[in-house]
Structure 1
Amino acid sequence: KQVACLCSILCRLFMQDYLQHYYHLQNDPLGRMKRSGLSFTSKVKDMQIFFGLNVSGRLDSDTLEVMRSPRCGVPDVEEYSHAQTTRWNKNVITYRYLLYTRDLPRSTVDSLIESAFSVWARASSLTFVRSNTRNADIMVEFATHGDLFPFDGPGRTLAHAFGPGSGIGGDTHFDDAERWTAGETGFNLFVVAAHEFGHALGLKHSRNRESLMFPNYKPFRSANLLSSEDVASIKALYSKHFGCIPESYQRSSK
């Protein structure tokens, strides 16, 4: 019974932490999480609506399965990070590495990150240039750090990125507690990086499971990754300001 009780407590803490992080479940005045009542139930419903689940407000097996899935650390609702602008006000964006992972050779990391940026470059008028200067727009880092949105060890939160802006704006962090790979085992760095760079360019999470900006991790098999929604979203942010997007953007597969 003690073991069952401990498992129940840990499960509740996990669910509460998930809703607090991704759906802004608030503490009560005494610092305790609102486990019952309208606030908790409404946040569960918000999460179920976002993922297209049965909207019951109850933590059924389908809801718990989605909560346990590895995912991006950016919340699914607004108010993430510092004050952000919607987009970069330029079409040449620089990036710089701060720390590498030991899981892959540096040359492999460089190639996968460059390919991830190319996903968005092909669908927009944007150009991405690697830089060694301290004022690069996007800082790329692998760490088990404790910033405003700390990582949680292997398994759940894979990475996060901040939207365009000064300071930490655009910075993209990968949890180095994960196993980063270039293939289908572990977590594919190319796929995760492409998703996070979408945030660094100003895109939010999508409810569309075919979208690269869907928050939960899944290995893609498309060479370009982007759905028609992703292309439309990046167009809406940048094509009006920096020239035309190609009229056709063909998704290709490996």
Structure 2
Amino acid sequence: MAFNPSLLLGAFLLLLLVSIPITVHCKDHTGKSFDFLHHLEGCHKGQTVKGLHALKRYLQKFGYLNYGHDHHDSSKNRNLKHANNDEFDDLLESAVRAYQSNYHMKVTGILDSDTIQEMMLPRCGVPDVVKATNAMSSRKMKQSKLFNTTPQYSFFPGMPRWPPSKTRLTYSFRSSAKVVGIQVLRSVCSRAFRRWQNVSHFTFQEARRGATGDIVIGFHHGGHGDQYPFDGPGNTLAHAFAPQRGWFHYDADENWSTNPVNMTQVDLESVAVHEIGHILGLGHSYDRNAIMFPSFSPGTIKRNLRADDIEGIRALYS
């Protein structure tokens, strides 16, 4: 057969395309909504500072603040009055202190630079404050003795889990926004599911074509029908729901990549591993090395489960 140089060139170009990391450039990353925090550094109880109402919304969104939602609270009306103003009141100070405690910072109730920097990091949209039951707390203590660690993992309220008979979970894809090709997403998610499969009793398999899986994964902009709208680039990266809802949503406005090379790109697989943890029933961990830590720095790759993640999933299903 005669040598055909065009075939060789075509094969080389195909190999080159396969080896190049896929990056998706979305909207301009200038108006980041967490930027309002810059102007609040140093604020403390007793002050009235423009922009504190936005901080209250932030802390309420992520589970630290609750104005007027407790019907047994005799101060409900007084609390509601403060929900949308710019006063640094007692409830706001308590919320800041709780945030600082969760993130292992110096607990002062003051918006110091460390607290502001932590709050400004892009993060998962699932709220942070999750309380374990007494029974599960004692189980965590047994786990900590076994692994010689201090457990930092948490669970959703009520500890929702997949039933014992449901160990094989299927997943499918449905997006309202086109961000990456389906083959890329399949590959990313297959690897992410495998990490949890290797440390738990679960197995994962893509649902047959046209079927809806136990878990549905997709990209969406802004409001997308689940009552938890995304907030544009650089803020909430993704969110997922506790068992057995099985929804995992990426924010389509982020600058996603399969292999980040700069500080504007977010790793698809790292975020997938985190959100799958939520789908299985894990809340956030306050071990900064854990996959389930809430914040995530763009430009980094964080795909490997750590001891706290593994202890958490085994404690939940033991």
The AA in structure 2 aligned to 1:42 is: S
Aligned to 2:161: 87
Aligned to 2:257: 181
Match among 112, 116, 136 for residue 60 of structure 1:
112
1:143 aligns with 2:220: yes
1:127 aligns with 2:206: no
Tell me the CA shift for residue 235 of structure 1. 1.4
After superposing the two structures, state which structure 1 stretch, 132-141 or 188-197, moved more.
132-141
Instruction: Calculate the TM-score normalised by the size of structure 2.
Output: 0.65
Residue ranges of structure 2 left out of the alignment (5+ in a row): 1-35, 41-48, 68-78, 132-155
Asked if the contact 1:70–1:217 (Cα under 8 Å) also holds between the matched residues in 2, the reply is: yes
1:203 aligns with 2:282: yes
After superposing the two structures, state which structure 1 stretch, 40-49 or 95-104, moved more.
95-104
Tell me, what secondary structure is at the counterpart of 2:277? helix
RMSD: 2.5
Aligned to 2:90: 38
> Against the structure 1 CA distance between its residues 36 and 199, is the aligned structure 2 distance closer, same or farther, given a 3 Å change threshold?
same
Tell me the CA shift for residue 102 of structure 1. 3.6
Instruction: Please give the alpha-carbon distance, in whole angstroms, between the structure 1 residues aligned to 2:293 and 2:157.
Output: 23
> Against the structure 1 CA distance between its residues 101 and 116, is the aligned structure 2 distance closer, same or farther, given a 3 Å change threshold?
farther
Aligned to 1:29: 80
Asked if the contact 1:164–1:170 (Cα under 8 Å) also holds between the matched residues in 2, the reply is: yes
Give the total of aligned pairs. 228
1:47 aligns with 2:47: no
> Against the structure 1 CA distance between its residues 99 and 84, is the aligned structure 2 distance closer, same or farther, given a 3 Å change threshold?
farther
Tell me the CA shift for residue 237 of structure 1. 2.4
Asked if the contact 2:266–2:300 (Cα under 8 Å) also holds between the matched residues in 1, the reply is: no
Measured against aligned partners, the alpha-carbon deviations of 1:151-186 in whole angstroms (never above 9, x if no partner) come to 110011000100002xxx121111001111101241
Instruction: Calculate the TM-score normalised by the size of structure 1.
Output: 0.81
Asked if the contact 2:56–2:83 (Cα under 8 Å) also holds between the matched residues in 1, the reply is: no
Match among 185, 203, 216 for residue 109 of structure 1:
185
1:228 aligns with 2:268: no
Residue ranges of structure 1 left out of the alignment (5+ in a row): 241-254
Instruction: Please give the alpha-carbon distance, in whole angstroms, between the structure 1 residues aligned to 2:203 and 2:292.
Output: 20
Asked if the contact 2:218–2:248 (Cα under 8 Å) also holds between the matched residues in 1, the reply is: yes
Instruction: Please give the alpha-carbon distance, in whole angstroms, between the structure 1 residues aligned to 2:192 and 2:309.
Output: 14
> Against the structure 1 CA distance between its residues 188 and 211, is the aligned structure 2 distance closer, same or farther, given a 3 Å change threshold?
same
Aligned to 1:244: none
Measured against aligned partners, the alpha-carbon deviations of 1:73-99 in whole angstroms (never above 9, x if no partner) come to 0011138xx987521111101111111
Tell me the CA shift for residue 231 of structure 1. 1.0
Measured against aligned partners, the alpha-carbon deviations of 1:52-80 in whole angstroms (never above 9, x if no partner) come to 1111001111111111000000011138x
The AA in structure 2 aligned to 1:15 is: L
Asked if the contact 2:216–2:248 (Cα under 8 Å) also holds between the matched residues in 1, the reply is: yes
Measured against aligned partners, the alpha-carbon deviations of 1:98-140 in whole angstroms (never above 9, x if no partner) come to 1175443221111001111111001112111111455521111
Asked if the contact 1:171–1:200 (Cα under 8 Å) also holds between the matched residues in 2, the reply is: yes
Aligned to 1:171: 247
Tell me, what secondary structure is at the counterpart of 2:114? helix
Percent identical pairs in the alignment equals 35
